[in-house]
Amino acid sequence: MASRKEEKEALREERLAREREAASGERRRRMLGYGVGGVIAVAAIVAVVLVALAPGAEQSPSSPQTQGVDFPEGSVPPAGPLARDLPAAARAAGCTVENPKNEGSTHVTTPVRYKANPPTSGNHNPEAAPDGAYLSPPGKVENLVHDLEHGRVHMQYRVDAPDPVKGNLKALFNEDPYHILLTPNVTKMRAEVAATTWDHALICPRENPKVYDALRAFTRAYRDRGPEYVP
């Protein structure tokens, strides 16, 4: 017959065995939970990436792209007092500030005929072009109009502009490329240099040293003032 001490020891061993079994079950449940949670997290990340890369997703990358290695050399005068006074800077440079009538803002995938040249609003492609400086257009005019809706400043030069003009505009772009596109014009504008934002334009028939303060003042007045802010 077992002694009282032996009975107590047997009961103790049974209790410890039950506790070990319970702890093992809890660990299995936690590991299963971690596994399911990990699968859900990975699936969520994949879904976000797929949405971001989907055609037509709202994108306007803020890290400027550039073809700067191909741009001619150029330089611009430092900013003067008129760089903070758009009307005065435009007059001094022989430029005009225009505020064309709004032409709409619907997303379309077909070509659009714009009344303003260069365009400052209107129906446009669902995908915006990336910020940056380009020697060839980074998209169609409908893509570039979408950038204006996002508050971008689109600096443009006529396709037959001489290399010094392209180089000087690139030098200005390098001063402050945030939310700016610099591209050749794709709408056969008459002006040698222009800048557009949503509902506003700076038209400069001829490039000259004073044009750059006008462009600085225009950017200061209208950058990030579009109907949709996209970082």
Token pair in block for residue 98: 């225009």
Question: Which of the two residues, 26 and 42, has the higher pLDDT score?
Answer: 26
- Whether 59 is covered by a domain: the verdict is no
Question: Which of the two residues, 221 and 66, has the higher pLDDT score?
Answer: 221
Residue 159 pLDDT? 95
3-state helix/strand/coil string of the chain = CCCHHHHHHHHHHHHHHHHHHHHHHHHHHHHHHHHHHHHHHHHHHHHHHHHHHCCCCCCCCCCCEECHHHCCCCCCCCCCHHHHCHHHHHHHHCCEEECCCCCCCCECCCCCCCCCCCCCCCCECCCCCCCEECCCCCCCHHHHHHHHHCCCEEEEECCCCCHHHHHHHHHHHHHCCCCEEEEECCCCCCCCEEEEECCEEEEECCCCCCHHHHHHHHHHHHCCCCCCCCC
Percentage above 70 pLDDT, the chain? 70
Same domain? 166 vs 114: yes
Same domain? 196 vs 82: yes
Residue 132 pLDDT? 97
Same domain? 50 vs 69: no
Same domain? 160 vs 179: yes
Q: What is the mean pLDDT of residues 25-51?
A: 46
Q: Is the pLDDT of residue 46 over 60?
A: no
- Whether 19 is covered by a domain: the verdict is yes
- Whether 60 is covered by a domain: the verdict is no
Domain count within the chain: 2
209 lies in which domain range?
A: 65-222
* pLDDT band with cut points at 50, 70 and 90 for residue 53: very low
Residue 57 pLDDT? 37
Same domain? 28 vs 83: no
Same domain? 113 vs 217: yes
Over the stretch 70-119, which tens digit does the pLDDT of each residue have?
A: 899 999 999 999 999 999 999 999 999 999 999 999 999 999 999 999 99
Residue 28 pLDDT? 54
Same domain? 35 vs 129: no
Residue 56 pLDDT? 37
Same domain? 46 vs 70: no
What's the one-letter identity of residue 170?
K
Q: What is the mean pLDDT of residues 33-57?
A: 42
- Whether 228 is covered by a domain: the verdict is no
Cα gap 136→138, rounded to integer Å: 6
Q: Is the pLDDT of residue 36 over 80?
A: no
